[in-house]
Structure 1
Amino acid sequence: MGKLIDTVAWIHLADGRVLGARSRGEELFYIPGGKRHDGESDRETLLREVEEELTVRLLPQSVRHFQTYEAALHRPGDDRTVRMACYTAEFTGTLAASSEIEELAWLSYADRERTPPVDRLAFDDLRAAGMLR
């Protein structure tokens, strides 16, 4: 098994859809979040990454763990695994894509294949829980 990529992600749902982001130069959408810096907790990483990508502030007291997933990275020939700890949280501010984000989209279960393998696991659980249409 290759190296583990340790990430956190913010599941933000509205009208049965989950917010997705697509980075510049990438094809796939992902649940917003990112990699942990040395010594950061999940919560610290989540707050920093969401603010960097979406220009909103998560309310720390509202952060709740949803589920943690692991799956192979989506690049052929790359044997790394992605661990994604998913959280829900309330926010303040107006959602907007930062300079590193090309596009934001509200994704339904039909968009599952437009996301990396680890995100697809979250889509499956959200659908099974009746939270994603």
Structure 2
Amino acid sequence: MSTLIDTVAWVRIENGRILCARPRGKDVFYIPGGKREGAETDVETLLREIKEELTVLLDPATAVHVGTYEAEVPGAPDGTVVRMSCYTADYAGTLAASSEIDEIAWFSYEDRAQVPPVDQLLFDDLRAGGALGG
């Protein structure tokens, strides 16, 4: 039996580096975002999760889908797959770790090993497209 974890992530790149967040109690970084609640759209999920995690307001009018990635989840039961729908969007406010987030960091491609497999697929595409340095 397979399990699908449906997530939405915010891709924020500045100066060739991508914004990543480390949840409280974990030692791995993720692309910021989270799981859909109920009948939320991708953009609704993104706006809610990013406001909770990073204290900024995304502008829904600027949200652009950049890719959807799927990979198995390390340490989870066999057949557990995460689907990550990725979007860019402009924001207002000051980025700060909040809620369940302990730390934020800007990663280059060299930091790829510090993120899970599904995030690594995004890193690969961003590097191939010239957006991610390192």
Partner in structure 2 of residue 74 of structure 1:
74
4+ runs of 1 displaced by more than 6 Å?
none
Equivalent pairs, count: 133
Task: Please tell me the residue identity of whatever aligns with 1:110.
Answer: E
Q: Secondary structure at the match of 1:25?
A: coil
After superposition, the Cα gap between the structure-2 partners of 1:7 and 1:76, relative to the gap in structure 1 and judged at 3 Å, is: closer
CA distance in 1, matches of 2:16, 2:2: 35
Q: How far is 1:110 from its partner?
A: 0.5
CA distance in 1, matches of 2:3, 2:39: 18
> TM-score, structure 2 length as denominator?
0.96
Task: Please tell me the residue identity of whatever aligns with 1:12.
Answer: R
Q: Mapping of 1:17-96 within 5 angstroms?
A: 17-75=17-75, 77-96=77-96
- Write out per-residue CA displacement over residues 63-104 of structure 1, whole angstroms, 9 at most, x where no aligned residue: 000000000012254531000000000000000000311110
- Unaligned 5+ segments in structure 1 are none
Q: Secondary structure at the match of 1:7?
A: strand
- Unaligned 5+ segments in structure 2 are none
Q: Indicate the percent of aligned positions where both proteins have the same amino acid.
A: 60
> TM-score, structure 1 length as denominator?
0.97
Q: Which moved more, 1:6-15 or 1:76-85?
A: 76-85
Q: Mapping of 1:97-116 within 5 angstroms?
A: 97-116=97-116
